Amino acid sequence: MPVSVSVNCPLCPGELSIPVEIEIETVSRLSQRAPIDVNVSAEIADEGRERIAEHLRVAHPEVQP
């Protein structure tokens, strides 16, 4: 499930909107009357990595990625 999150650049007042891929997995154990397990994982999408690199290149050329 792709979503975007806003993050602040630690080097300037700039704010970036970064695409993040979120995966939610549930394991139901209703037959066992046990709680439902929910596993959540997130990873910066390729487009998000490109946005971060572009921001560094344009706004902070002195920083080497």
Mean pLDDT throughout 21-41? Answer: 82
On average, the pLDDT of the chain sits at 88
Q: Alpha-carbon distance 8 to 52, whole Å?
A: 11
Task: Report the percent of the chain where pLDDT is more than 70.
Answer: 92
Instruction: Give me the pLDDT at residue 65, please.
Output: 61
Burial label, 48 (beta-carbon count in 10 A; 0-12, 13-18, 19+): buried
* Residue of higher predicted confidence among 65 and 1: 1
Mean pLDDT throughout 53-58? Answer: 93
Full-model pTM: 0.69
Mean pLDDT throughout 43-47? Answer: 93
